[in-house]
């Protein structure tokens, strides 16, 4: 018996409209372990090739109410976001991770299913420069249990993401 194809998400539909090839890869969700490391293991890719999408807010002084603007940071699954580097990339004084209760109302996605593509609001996106090291990367398709596999250049185009050094532990190239 053939497994039914996963339902198309907003992110997949966006890729379709842009003519970008991708693969949808479902995996079993463990609500107690939504880490990118767990996802990588389940879809058979190294963690540095599975990118997680984090929502942060910056205090630029020029954006929305109270000078706070939101940005996406897309980093390897085995890395930790460097908030100072994100702030620098976004041209802000500082950056902080958005609280979990902010994520769904702002993006339309729940934790473990956040993606830049098809988000409720088109916040600026910054992708760690290591994304270009791979022929194929994996990002959330916009729901828990479903990943998108695609070429990094296609992802950067679809997400309108800017490359930057965003993680702790490696020197800028």
Asked if the model's pLDDT at residue 153 lies above 60, the reply is yes
CATH number at 84 reads 3.90.960.10
Residue 22 inside a domain? The answer is: no
Domain interval for residue 158: 46-164
Helix, coil or strand: residue 139: strand
Residue 67 inside a domain? The answer is: yes
Residue 1 inside a domain? The answer is: no
The number of residues making up the chain comes to: 173
Asked if the model's pLDDT at residue 3 lies above 60, the reply is no
Residue 41 inside a domain? The answer is: no
Residue 6 inside a domain? The answer is: no
Which pLDDT score is estimated for 60?
A: 58
* Nearest alpha-carbon partner for 40 in 4, 68, 71, 76: 76
Count CB-CB contacts under 10 A for residue 8: 14
Which pLDDT score is estimated for 59?
A: 79
Residue 27 inside a domain? The answer is: no
**Model pLDDT for residues 154-170, shown as the tens digit of each residue:** 999 999 999 999 999 75
Distance (Å, whole) CA 4 – CA 65: 45
Q: What is the DSSP string of 17-86?
A: HHT---EEEE---BTTB--HHHHHHHHT--GGGBEEEEEEEEE-SSSSGGGEEEEEEEEETT--B-HHHH
**Model pLDDT for residues 59-77, shown as the tens digit of each residue:** 755 544 445 589 999 999 9
Residue 40 inside a domain? The answer is: no
Q: Which residues of 60-86 are buried (b: 16+ CB within 10 A; e: fewer)?
A: beebeeeeebbbbbbbbbbbebbbebb
**Model pLDDT for residues 89-110, shown as the tens digit of each residue:** 999 999 999 999 999 999 999 9
Residue 143 inside a domain? The answer is: yes
Paired tokens of 73:
């940071």
- Give me the number of domains the chain comprises: 1
Going from the C-alpha of 18 to that of each of 68, 89, 154, the distances in angstroms are 31, 26, 9
Which pLDDT score is estimated for 172?
A: 46
In the chain, the percentage of residues whose pLDDT exceeds 90 is 82
């Amino acid at each position: 018996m053939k497994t039914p194809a996963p339902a198309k998400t907003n992110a997949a539909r966006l890729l379709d409209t842009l003519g970008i090839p991708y693969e949808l890869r479902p995996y079993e969700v463990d609500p107690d372990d939504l880490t990118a490391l767990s996802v990588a293991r389940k879809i058979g890719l190294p963690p540095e090739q599975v990118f997680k999408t984090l929502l942060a807010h910056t205090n630029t002084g020029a954006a929305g109410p109270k000078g706070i603007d939101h940005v996406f940071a897309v980093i390897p699954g085995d890395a930790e976001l460097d908030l100072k580097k994100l702030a620098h990339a976004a041209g802000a004084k500082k950056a902080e991770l958005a609280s979990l209760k902010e994520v769904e109302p702002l993006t339309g996605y729940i934790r473990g299913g956040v993606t830049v593509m098809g988000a409720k609001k088109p916040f600026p996106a910054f992708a760690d420069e290591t994304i270009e090291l791979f022929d194929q990367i994996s990002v959330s398709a916009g729901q828990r249990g479903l990943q998108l596999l695609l070429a990094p250049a296609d992802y950067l185009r679809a997400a309108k993401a800017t490359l930057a050094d965003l993680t702790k532990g490696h020197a800028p190239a």
